[in-house]
Structure 1
Amino acid sequence: MTDGEQLTIDDEIVARARIHARTVLDEYDLSVDRDALEWETSLRARRRAGACRWDPNREIATIILARRAYERYDWPTFAGVVRHELVHAWEYQRFGESGHGARFRERAAALDAPRHCQSFSEPRYVLRCRETDCDWEATRHRASKPVKSPDRYRCGSCGGSYEVEHAESGRTWTTASGYGGSKAALGDDW
């Protein structure tokens, strides 16, 4: 860095993540090749606090950390995201693939890393089962197919029908036309 240059928040995120990663890799003897590990930040991410991409041609794992998550989480929570993504990097480097299965769960538990990172933004939609004896609920951040056409899908628990709620307005619908009507009625508030 030359005189007059200032560190950005993205520089801070990557620096803190790298320092934490070095400590974790040394303390837990996680065999991640640091020379085959790259770091990036994302301003676009709205729900995933982190991700790990694998480039099999270069054999490089890239950990991407969301700036919004860094700004909203306390450090211990964000450090958990870093550990979570390090487990993915380890799996990619060692096995060429990664997921959230038994191998991941075992290694994540050893590192005190969460199996799934909590969302750092409020969901835009809430899906709820309409059956009185079922309390199934799911959230979505985007207008996915189950949000747009709930009548074509079923409850994830009991198989019953469900409704979708636009979280900010409270409007609900159970059909594709209900989705369209709600979207039209809300206009700019959608």
Structure 2
Amino acid sequence: MTDGEEYTLEDEIVARARIHARDVVDENGLAVDLTALEWDVSARARRRAGACRWHADRGVATIVLARRAYERYEWPAFAGIVRHELVHAWEFQQFGESGHGDRFREQAAALEAPRYCEAFTEPRYVLRCLTADCDWRAKRHRASKPVASPDQYRCGDCGGSYEVEHVESGRTWATAGGYGGAKAALGEDW
């Protein structure tokens, strides 16, 4: 920063994450090349607290952290997200791929990193199976195709029909027409 420039919340997030990453690598011997690691902050993310993207052509991993998650979590929980994404960076750098399988699970456990991160925002929509003995549910934050046209898709467990609930209003629909009607009825409250 030059004189007169102010630090932003994004600067704070990246600075704390970098310091924590350096400590994790130094203290645990995690073979992450920090010079081949980039950091970014997403102001839009609502569902994922973090992500790690691999740029194979450059041999660089980019860890993207969600600003909203940083604002909602206490530091120990957010530091767990940083460690989680560091495991992805390690896998990308060492193996060229990453997931949440056995290798990830083992390394995450060694770093006391969560395998999955808790949601930090409530979903905008909930999908629920209409079959009486099926408990399938899915949460969505955006009006994806399965939200807008539920009659074109099936339950993830039993294959039955499902309905969608707009969480804030409680309105439900099971067809594309129902989606359009709910959206029109809610207007600005959509």
TM-score range, shorter chain: over 0.9
Cross-structure match for 1:74 = 74
Question: Residue 165 of structure 2 aligns with which residue?
Answer: 165
Aligned sequence identity (%) = 76
- One-letter amino acid of the structure 1 residue matched with residue 42 of structure 2: S
Structure 2 gap ranges (5+):
none
Aligned to 2:17: 17
What are the residue-to-residue correspondences of 1:27-176 with 2, within 5 Å?
A: 27-176=27-176
Residues 108-139 of structure 1 deviation map (CA, whole Å, 9 limit, x = unaligned): 12211112222221111000111222221110
Give the alignment's Cα RMSD to 1 decimal. Answer: 1.3
Q: Which digits, 9 at most, give the CA deviation of each residue in 1:44-92, with x for residues without a partner?
A: 2222111111111111111111111101111111111101110110011
Corresponding residue of 1:181: 181
Q: Which secondary structure does the structure 1 equivalent of 2:47 belong to?
A: coil
User: What letter is aligned with 2:27?
Assistant: E
TM-score, reference length from structure 2: 0.94
* Alpha-carbon offset, residue 158 of structure 1: 2.2
| TM-score w.r.t. length of structure 1 | 0.94
1 CA distance for matches of 2:2 and 2:159?
Answer: 61
Gaps of 5+ in 1: none
Matched residues in 1 for 2:5 and 2:144: separation?
Answer: 43
CA shift for structure 1 position 4:
3.5
User: What is the CA distance between 1:2 and its match in structure 2?
Assistant: 3.9
Deviates more, 1:152-161 or 1:61-70: 152-161
